Chain A
């Protein structure tokens, strides 16, 4: 590991004898690896997981559907154990109560399944199981719920009904099972409980004899006052080659590797339980900081998805073909086992049929990603910690003197007065307003950290208020929960309560957050929540939230609510005018609506560089598009080569931030010699020149939900070669990027998908699609290709920050396909306000065909209440793949001629002219125009 050896940690001066003894024992047994496996529960130590995982298919009493009816446009029914239905007299006193089943249909293509206790049953406990609020869009039923006019029962014991896109849902009554299939050929797409593993532990009030509901883990005891209440079931994805999703796990594989079954080494199931993991492994099914219980499947025939809205701890097995019957492995079907500690079944089946459809279906329920401010798409410079105002100024000056653009400077926990958030260390940061203004004068922003743990200090206004108002999460005995985090003894506002979120959001008002200015934005860390002395470093499961909800029931969503409240707060302070930027570490389904996330405390090693790509791609596939990994690696000191490679890769992360641990050596980009400074500058420049393209992609994400960084197969769904490629990725539809993940790498093999060719952006050379190419690797960049048939808008002038680029002219890079055509788009707005929602934006469509480049409006400006107009010109059009004899072009309107000459692909000293370039067309980018090649 990267940590220094424990022996070396002991330094002079020599110590008195007694402490020497203590310290010596320290030397002898410090663990070599920092990953503390024993501190976290595995499936075997987790009773619900162990029980469910060891069950054989169809080994539990099956359930039957009864009293199925159509009411209010949805299907409702009751679920009872089959034998109970057949011979009700056999029922013992402890007979299970019926469950309620509800099925409804949503546009654009989802089946919703809800199973819960029947609270009308006189034996039902008064406590209701937790259904996660505020994750589905508030108007989801109004906007997307379909009123089901009829159901059909073609054969007895089978009910079916319509789903969009030519699909249907089929409910088998005995044994209970649901299938989503193509209506035309009855081909199954998804099935639920086809292996009879559905189990629902009903709430009880009395323990049976000798039963112990408590759970102990290490020194912690979970009182579990409501006893076991877990739910598990199997879901099968038919026609699937791979399944993806369910972040957050560190993995070098893009697809989810099977965790059980023939030829699978022993593995834990994928765990979804938000945890603050110290020095996480780069490849493990272990749960990290966030959870999105959404899985997608993909195969050449179809794509589908499954989402279980449940915030309790979840464990998910991906079962290798033949797990149920080694003699008969079923190809093209992937079975999965879902297990959760509590909650209800509130699940969605997405029919696809394309992955982009699945994504859209998921995001129609949980919301599309928020449109960030333009500055947030630039480069962020962070470190734990920039110590004082002088340090901030000198880092800021360093970027200027080395001509490296950056947009945001970050302050970690040490900037506060004793880890009391919303305060400043008065010695180190005597004039935070002045400091922010100095940055703002260069168009730069600042981000400060605000964590959920509130220091238990009566003189701290936040603690005082929260205590008085009773706003903290309670422990099992009803007192304010008191846990340990950075400030020491801390309590945690109960973010489940809307009133408390409201209160919290007001803390961000300029009047309340003293020393904050409009250029200041927010970073939420430790919101899993991290509790250093809690079980598995988090809050005890029996802690109690608003509405008598146990922490176990909402754990995975705590960080989400916190992020939500902070994000709303940042909007509020600017009278709702400006888009917020709030970065969070913990996340849940829906987080995409509130801000960005990063992949947490990674390490400065090549493996972590490699796993960052599958991690971010997976996040993108589950709606969390604005994400990135710490460039350079948080823990440890990267060798310059690793740092440079990380910048080159990180420049394509949607969220591009350099960050480092307190104990690491300083690593501002200019500290590794002139050569490396130049290489990093170049990497950052690549990002800045692509800002128009990135911003357009952010816009696309915010409307359609398509990720910015995409797996190759999302763009090439039929190309099997790409299905598990986690090393290369697409940025939008046009750019393919191949990372370099090894020290001293001389060449990499790059698979270029599809039938069209690709332009290597280093020299404009074309490479054929549909095959792998061995590419020589250079130190000045990682292999990047533009897909034939695309147009990428760039800005090739570099400024201190993105703010100064607003008026700079554009370069359009046109990569022609085999039919000599291409298309692309460009979106721009004021970069900060919400006026774009009222139509104040510019959205251009560029189409090149028949030797003509045409710019037309793509936006719905006729509907706009507000307008946006850009004064920017197009200064250069680069044409890749056009025959070299063109000399002139004519611009309409105006009918004026401009020159075409050979020019370089990028304006760097030494770059050679390789592509036809239309020189100074100087058309307004926001206008309609045509450029015809003569």
Chain B
């Protein structure tokens, strides 16, 4: 049956091809370029311009003179710039083209109906094109059908997961509340203990001081004469030591700084223009070495100055460079070889472009180095993220409580707090990573034992500890005090973990997962795409990066969905030299797998990727496609009927 059908289609198509010449006759003026929906509109004797500006009699329809500025009267000619021409394209899908395409010598409609003035012969390609299009559409529909099932599953899953999240959140909120109370109590006790301890300590110190002073007075009297001479010497020595160490330090730094020549500022400027130039230099180096080994090498010695220094591999290089700088004198271009200067100037137009585009082993090694440092640090931050709050608290506590007593410590503390703040910011931004870690970590603590919830148990423990402590006992019972402190620290840490988890869940819930939560599962996923030497990593709701070896460039942080969930936007990525901050738009389309394809950079530092995902296989779209196929089939039928 099916074979039969196919055979007959083939036969039809052959017949159709043969029939083309007879179809290419000049069509009727009255129907030219008019879509079937509009046919009745043009039936009247007097026709209105669609914009209402004017009326025209039927004989002015398609008379090659534009009467309606909106093109109503010339659907079939090029007379009106704003006109639209409808081609029926039997065998394929109808098409509406700009009237500027009519009789312009270029075949736009597959049925050739847009070229009827005889100047060009357009063959009818609708049958073949239509078949290709239908096949493509069928495939697409199949994908949508399968994808839709997957999508629905995901949507279900997402709903459950979201409910679970909400449940967890409400549970955690309660726990947090109880725990906070306990921690408060413990903190109070802890503070009292510490106060008592401090008082004791102070007393003790005063006593010791008094005893010491007395002893010293005694001794001083005895050694007065000897000390006078000793003091002079030691003073000298003290002054010499720091001086010496400075010298050592400067020597160490010399390779970095001294080559810059007499004027630091001047050289700064030079360097500032140099860096991109250096990159440019690196780019062309390989070629140079091939073409002109001797000469190129000679020149490169100068050109590599920044590289060598930054590489911190070759002190000799830096030295050579240093002497080079002196040779050239201190003019504002001093220190440059001709080649460096050329590169420098070229870099004004090109920026980093050249370095980014071209392979650059040196640069890479630099980046690797960077990443080795950066990545563990990032992980650490994540591990610490529960603790950071605690630490922060501790510092704050100290600040508030002891500020006046320990004035000299204040500076140090505030510095630390400052750096901690920084860590916190980073943590907050990266907190999404902590999700799984939280689960594994927290589950031990929060799992329930023997009927009692963990929080009940803790409550009991705290009660016990608090009761057993006697505040009126001096000196403070050390073991009891440390128990309280320990308990406080433990609980406080637990509290931060819970708070962090709550924060995390709330942050997650804030995200827009789509009108059917179809993108929920993206939250914990990253999608990778390899292109040449780059690996692109797209983590929805988080960030997108371009990785090359161990180096990573951020293309953007999650911003939003756009274009009614058809595009994901990552914005404010790493800055581009002389360009915008990097950004990435991910166009979503229906597919059976979550898969990134086709990362592109159409505009400098503005990336575009395509992600196919079942989440995009929406039912409405499927219906639309089916309708389109039905239309195509019916028009195909129509063309058969014509035959």
Partners in one complex: yes
* Chain A residues proximal to chain B, CB less than 8 Å: 3-4, 6, 8-19, 21-23, 25-31, 34, 38, 218-219, 278, 391, 403, 405, 418, 441-443, 456-459, 483-489, 531-533, 537, 661-666, 685, 796-800, 804, 807-808, 875-876, 904, 907-913, 919-920
Chain B residues positioned under 8 Å from A876 (CB to CB): 65
Partner of A484, one of B346, B366, B554: B346
Beyond A38-B332, A920-B65, is A796–B81 a contact (Cβ under 8 Å)? yes
Contact with A along B273-310 (1 / 0, CB 8 A): 11100000000100110011000000000000010011
Residues of B within 8 A of A12 (CB): 554, 574
Within 8 Å of chain A (Cβ to Cβ): is B31? no
Contact of B346 with A403 in the complex, beta carbons under 8 Å? no
The segment out of B100-108, B178-186, B196-204, B488-496 that lies at the interface is B100-108
The answer on a CB contact under 8 Å between A11 and B574 is yes
Given contacts A11-B576, A441-B106, are A18 and B312 in contact (CB under 8 A)?
yes
Q: A11-B576, A665-B603, A665-B604 are in contact. Are A909 and B345 (CB under 8 A)?
A: no
A781 CB, min distance to chain B CBs, angstroms: 15
Is B551 located at the chain interface by the 8 A CB criterion?
yes
User: Does A904 contact B69, Cβ atoms closer than 8 Å?
Assistant: yes
B258 within 8 A of A: no
Interface size on B, residues (CB 8 A): 87
Q: Which of A27, A278, A804 contacts B349 (CB 8 A)?
A: A278
Q: Identify the stretch in B335-343, B429-437, B459-467 within 8 Å (CB) of chain A at 4 or more residues.
A: B335-343
Are the C-beta atoms of A391 and B331 separated by less than 8 Å? Answer: no
B322 at the interface (CB under 8 A from A): no
Cβ of A22: which chain B residues have Cβ within 8 Å of it?
256, 271, 275, 306, 309-310
B residues 311-332 in Cβ contact with A at 8 Å: 311-312, 328-329, 331-332
Specify which chain B residues have a CB less than 8 angstroms from the CB of A9 in the assembled complex.
575, 577-578
Chain B residues closer than 8 Å to A18, beta-carbon distance: 256, 309-312
A509: shortest Cβ distance to chain B, in Å? 26
Closest B residue to A875 by beta carbon equals B65
* Complex A-B: 14 CB contacts under 8 Å: A17-B312, A21-B256, A22-B271, A26-B275, A29-B265, A219-B334, A441-B106, A483-B338, A484-B343, A485-B346, A796-B81, A907-B82, A908-B69, A920-B63
Q: Is B242 among interface residues, defined by CB-CB distance under 8 A?
A: no
- Other A-B contacts than A484-B338, A909-B70, 18 sampled, CB-CB below 8 A, are A16-B369, A21-B256, A25-B271, A26-B273, A218-B332, A484-B339, A484-B341, A486-B346, A532-B341, A532-B344, A533-B340, A661-B349, A663-B577, A663-B579, A875-B79, A907-B80, A907-B82, A920-B65
CB closest chain-B residue, reference A403: B98
How far does the alpha carbon of A607 sit from the alpha carbon of B272 in the complex, in Å? 28
Choose one: B309, B344, B602; the contact of A19 (CB below 8 Å).
B309
A418 to B342, CA, bound (A): 16
Least CB distance from A386 to B in Å reads 10
In the complex, whether B267 has a CB less than 8 A from a CB of chain A is: yes
Q: Which residues of B contact A483 (CB under 8 A)?
A: 338, 342
Chain A: CB-nearest residue to B65? A920
Closest CB in chain A relative to B299 CB, distance in Å: 8
User: Which chain B residue shows the least CB distance to A38?
Assistant: B332
Q: Is residue B381 contacting chain A, with contact meaning CB distance below 8 A?
A: no
Residues of A within 8 Å of B53, CB to CB, are 910, 912
CB distance from B261 to the nearest CB of A (A): 12
* A485 partner, pick from B64, B287, B342, beta carbons under 8 A: B342
State A18–B334 Cα separation when bound (angstroms): 22
Specify the chain B residue showing the minimal Cβ separation from A17: B312
Residues on the B chain within 8 Å of A486, using CB: 346
Do A13 and B100 have beta carbons less than 8 Å apart?
Answer: no
Given contacts A29-B272, A910-B69, contact A19 B306 (CB under 8 A): yes
Q: Are A403 and B349 in contact, with the CB atoms below 8 A?
A: no
Contact with A14, one of B65, B272, B288, B374 (Cβ below 8 angstroms)? B374
Check B370 for interface membership: any CB of A closer than 8 A.
yes
Q: Secondary structure at chain A's binding surface: helix, strand, loop or mixed?
A: loop
Tell me the complex Cα distance, A109–B229, Å.
Answer: 104
Does B588 interact with chain A (Cβ within 8 Å)?
Answer: no
Nearest CB of chain A from residue B428's CB, rounded to whole Å? 18
Q: How far is the CB of B366 from chain A (nearest CB, A)?
A: 6
Complex CA distance for A327 and B182, rounded to whole angstroms: 96
Provide the bound-state CA to CA distance between A11 and B276, in Å: 13
Question: Is A797 a contact of B78 with CB atoms below 8 Å?
Answer: yes
Q: Which residues of A contact B256 (CB under 8 A)?
A: 18, 21-22
Min CB distance B76 to A, Å, is: 14
| Cβ-closest 10 pairs across A and B | A484-B342, A19-B310, A533-B342, A532-B345, A533-B341, A666-B603, A26-B272, A532-B342, A11-B575, A219-B333
- In the bound complex, what is the Cα–Cα distance between A8 and B579 (angstroms)? 10
A25 neighbours in B (Cβ, 8 Å): 260, 267-268, 271-272
- In contact, A10 and B575 (Cβ under 8 angstroms): yes
CA–CA, A665 and B332, complex, Å = 34
Cβ contacts under 8 Å, B70 to chain A: 909-910
Quick one: closest B residue to A30, CB to CB? B272
Closest to B357 in A: A414
Q: Please tell me if B207 contacts chain A, counting CB pairs below 8 Å.
A: no
Q: Which of A16, A218, A459, A488 contacts B370 (CB 8 A)?
A: A16
**CB closest residue in chain A, given B285:** A488
Q: How far is the CB of B66 from chain A (nearest CB, A)?
A: 5
Inter-chain CA distance A567–B340, complex, in Å, is 34
Q: Note all chain A residues with C-beta closer than 8 A to B292.
A: 456, 489
The interface residues of chain A lying within 8 Å CB-to-CB of B339 are: 484, 488-489, 533
Q: Mark B402-439 against chain A: 1 for CB-CB distance below 8 A, else 0.
A: 00000000000000000000000000000000000000
Produce 1/0 per residue, B46-57, CB < 8 A to A: 000001011000
CB closest residue in chain A, given B342: A484
**Cα A442 to Cα B101 with chains together (Å):** 11
Cβ of B348 within 8 Å of any chain A Cβ, yes or no, is yes
Chain B nearest CB from A778 CB (Å) reads 17
Point out the residues of chain A lying under 8 angstroms from B257, CB to CB. Answer: 21
Tell me if B268 and A664 are in contact (CB < 8 A): no
Say how far A920's CB is from chain B's closest CB, in angstroms.
5
Q: Does B100 lie within 8 Å of A16, measured CB to CB? A: no
Interface centre among A11, A418, A661, A920 (most CB of B within 10 A): A11
Question: Does the CB pair B553–A489 fall under 8 Å?
Answer: no
CB closest residue in chain B, given A805: B104
Residues of the A chain whose Cβ atoms lie less than 8 Å from the Cβ of B373: 14
B130 contacts partner chain A, Cβ-Cβ < 8 Å? no
Q: Which residues of the other chain, B, contact A797 by a CB distance below 8 angstroms?
A: 78-79, 81, 100
Chain A residue numbers with a CB within 8 Å of B274 are 26
**Min CB gap A529→B, angstroms:** 13
**In the assembled complex, B269 has its CB within 8 A of some CB on chain A:** yes
List chain A residues, Cβ under 8 A from B65: 875-876, 919-920
The answer to whether A219 touches B336, judged by C-beta atoms less than 8 angstroms apart, is: yes
Interface hub of B104, B287, B306, B602 (most chain A Cβ within 10 A)? B104
CB-nearest residue of chain B to A18: B312
For B577-606 the 0/1 string (1 means CB < 8 A from A) is 111100000000000000000000011101
Residue among B54, B106, B554 making CB contact with A442, cutoff 8 Å = B106
Q: Is B187 an interface residue (CB 8 A)?
A: no
Pair A662/B606 contact, Cβ less than 8 Å: no
Chain A residue at smallest Cβ distance from B550? A13
Q: In the assembled complex, how far is the CB of residue A140 from the closest CB belonging to chain B, in whole angstroms?
A: 39
Contacts of B614 in A (CB 8 A): none
Q: Knowing A418-B287, A685-B81, A797-B79 are in contact, say whether A31-B341 is a contact too (CB < 8 A).
A: no
Expressed in whole angstroms, the minimum distance between the Cβ of B547 and any Cβ of chain A is 11
| Shortest Cβ distance from residue A536 to the other chain B in the assembled complex, whole angstroms | 11
Given contacts A391-B602, A876-B65, contact A26 B338 (CB under 8 A): no
Report the bound CA distance from A912 to B69 in whole Å: 8
CB of B586, distance to nearest CB on chain A (Å): 18
CB nearest neighbor in B for A12? B574
Q: B530 on the interface (CB 8 Å rule)?
A: no
Q: Say how far A402's CB is from chain B's closest CB, in angstroms.
A: 10
Name B318's closest neighbour in chain A (CB-CB): A18
> In the complex, are the beta carbons of A219 and B575 less than 8 A apart?
no
Q: Residue A800 contacts which of B104, B374, B552, B576 (CB distance < 8 angstroms)?
A: B104
